[in-house]
Amino acid sequence: MIMSDLAKEHLETALRRGVFPGVTSNHHLHSVAALAVTLAETREFGEAYADQTIRNAKSLAQALFERGLDVLCESKGFTESHTLVVDVEEHQGGAKVAKALEDANIIVNKNLLPWDSDPVRPSGLRIGSQEITRLGMKEKDMVAVAELITRVAVKGESPADVRADVREFKKDFTKARYCFFDGEEAYDYPRYDGDL
């Protein structure tokens, strides 16, 4: 979504030329209602959600750092957003660690770090806290998340063994938070039974 002061006509013209055709084809009417709800929820809950997301990211970064992982920007408090970056080169690199964590049901991204030269073998991981925050996790839960990550990334435990503990830990976090339907199951999907 691009939001702008339309009083600046030259900007609107440049933006329209830059995104259509090529980047977008239309605004997909089926998603307009979802976007409206998302914007309304952001207006209502966005500040609290953003605040908790950042507090969780900082707590997770600190917990990972205390467990021996090289979380970047310690001197700056690790992060001021939902994202933290970890150098895992000494633990087989970003691609291998990200894949092992995925096999344990922990989703992170391999990530190039400024000193990397090979995009296939980046030395970093990018970890976000927005989804776990949306599911109700708080700072105290970041210690458990860090321990699960460390077991795979540092200690080299089998992802299959850690996966069972990830599932056990996550079972208490299945409700959507920071939304109009706070507390409802995040993974329930309405089923169409043929009647309207």
- Residue 191 covered by a domain: no
- Is 193's pLDDT higher than 80? no
**How high is the pLDDT of residue 28?**
74
Structure confidence by residue, pLDDT tens digits, 3-61? 655 566 677 777 777 776 656 666 677 788 888 999 999 999 999 999 999 999 999 99
The helix or strand, by DSSP H or E, that contains position 84, with its residue range, turns out to be strand 83-87
C-alpha distances in Å from residue 45, one per residue of 3, 8, 32, 39, 51: 20, 30, 20, 10, 10
pLDDT at 33: 86
Residue 44 sits in a domain whose CATH number is 3.90.1150.10
Q: Could you give the 3-state DSSP secondary structure of residue 7? A: coil
Q: Are 184 and 175 in contact (CB under 8 A)?
A: yes
Give the structural domain span for 115: 29-170
CB atoms within 10 A of CB 104: 24
Q: What letter does residue 185 receive in the DSSP assignment?
A: B
| 70 sits in which H/E element | strand 70-71
Question: Would residue 120 count as lying in a domain?
Answer: yes
Q: How many domains does the chain have?
A: 1
Q: What is the pTM of this model?
A: 0.83
Q: pLDDT (tens digit, 9 = 90+) per residue, 81-90?
A: 999 999 999 9
Predicted confidence at residue 43, as pLDDT, reads 95
Look-up of token digits 């700056």: 76
Answer for the pair 135, 176: CB distance below 8 angstroms, yes or no.
yes
Residue 184 within a domain: no
Position 194 scores a pLDDT of: 67
Angle between helices 139-153 and 32-66 (to 10 degrees): 70
Question: Over the stretch 91-132, which tens digit does the pLDDT of each residue have?
Answer: 999 999 999 999 999 999 999 999 999 988 999 999 999 999
Q: Is residue 9 one of the residues assigned to a domain?
A: no
Looking at residue 42, its pLDDT comes to 94
Task: Express each pLDDT in 122-164 by its tens digit.
Answer: 999 999 999 999 999 999 999 999 999 999 999 999 999 999 9
Cα first-last separation, the chain:
32
Q: For 67-81, where are the alpha helices, taking DSSP H only?
A: none
